[in-house]
A = this chain, B = another copy of it.
């Protein structure tokens, strides 16, 4: 029977020009390669080489065989690659989220519950999240609205509440609460990658000037160093709240978002994992 190994060897011979060189490249002995190529010729029923006493040269059939071998081997490599990708996916939990903070919450919980699994997380638009969950690109998604769909489980997760983070000397710092309208005319620091919060920014904050920072560390440094107001939320505060800041809640309805976790039924256990572990907080 035709062996893939023989085809690999044939290609090596074609590449290196001599059996000796190919054998060395393949880490086998010359005689072994000689025999293997003879066998291949038998299997295919054609001589692939023109045999001079001291040299083998690919003949027309040999060149054809090399070409064909390339096709077969790339099909085989494709198979191996796709199977490997699938195997990897079995060891990976892909999380998709519509906002950053819930994602930061979820991924450590998962990796604690599934230490042997690789956890990947990325933000995406709600539509893409839903599609991705159905198609298997994501095993768990965080949405800002419950998802009612056959085969999909959806549970309320956390509520994120927006605050203005102010230096104590700021005029608004003594307020119990503010509305977004109170912030009109302010210059604020803003971290990018807002996810669904982007909508709030686009629609309700036209009267605010923003200094946008895309790097997390630079953003933290900026906040510590400046007296400009910024935003924070009940969730972001868990991860190193900045010093010397007063957080005043924002009362507008849009400043509070309730997040939901959705999984396909066959990954129900992921939900349990998150909720179980969440109680530790």
| Interface size of A as a range | 20 to 34
**Interface contact B86-A64, CB-CB below 8 Å:** yes
B-contact 0/1 string along A76-106, CB 8 Å cutoff: 1011101110110010000000000000000
Inter-subunit contact B5/A83 (CB<8 Å): no
Binds B, one of A65-73, A144-152, A199-207: A65-73
- The residue that A4 contacts in the complex, of B1, B65, B69, B82, with Cβ under 8 A, is B1
Which of B1, B72, B76, B87 meets A46, CB within 8 Å? B87
Interface of A is mostly: helix
The answer for the CA separation of A84 and B82 in the assembled complex, in Å, is 30
Q: Is residue A115 contacting chain B, with contact meaning CB distance below 8 A?
A: no
Question: Is B61 within 8 A of A71, CB to CB?
Answer: no
CA distance A79 to B74 in the complex (A): 13
Contacts of A211 in B (CB 8 A): none
Is A44 on the interface with B (CB-CB < 8 A)?
yes
Task: Assess whether A3 is interfacial by the CB under 8 Å rule.
Answer: yes
A64 — which chain B residues lie within 8 A by C-beta?
82-83, 86
Interface residue? A75 (CB, 8 A): yes
Chain B residues contacting A79 (CB-CB under 8 Å) are: 2, 65, 68-69, 71-72
Distance in Å: Cβ of A134 to nearest Cβ of chain B: 16
List residues of chain B with CB within 8 A of the CB of A80. Answer: 2, 44
Docked Cα-Cα span, A214 to B1, in Å, equals 47
Bound Cα distance A60, B90 (Å)? 11
A46:B83 contact, CB within 8 angstroms: yes
Interface string of A1-37 (1 = CB under 8 A from B): 1111100000000000000000000000000000000
Contacts of A1 in B (CB 8 A): 4-5
Q: Which of A135-170 contact B (CB under 8 A)?
A: none
Residue of B nearest to A61 (CB): B86
Whole-angstrom CA separation of A4 from B8 in the bound complex:
13
Question: Knowing A65-B83, A82-B64 touch, does A76 contact B45 (C-beta < 8 A)?
Answer: no
How far, in whole Å, are A17 and B63 apart by their CA atoms in the complex?
40
Q: Which residues of B contact A68 (CB under 8 A)?
A: 78-79, 82-83
In Å, the complex CA distance between A78 and B7 comes to 14
A87, chain B: closest CB distance, angstroms: 4
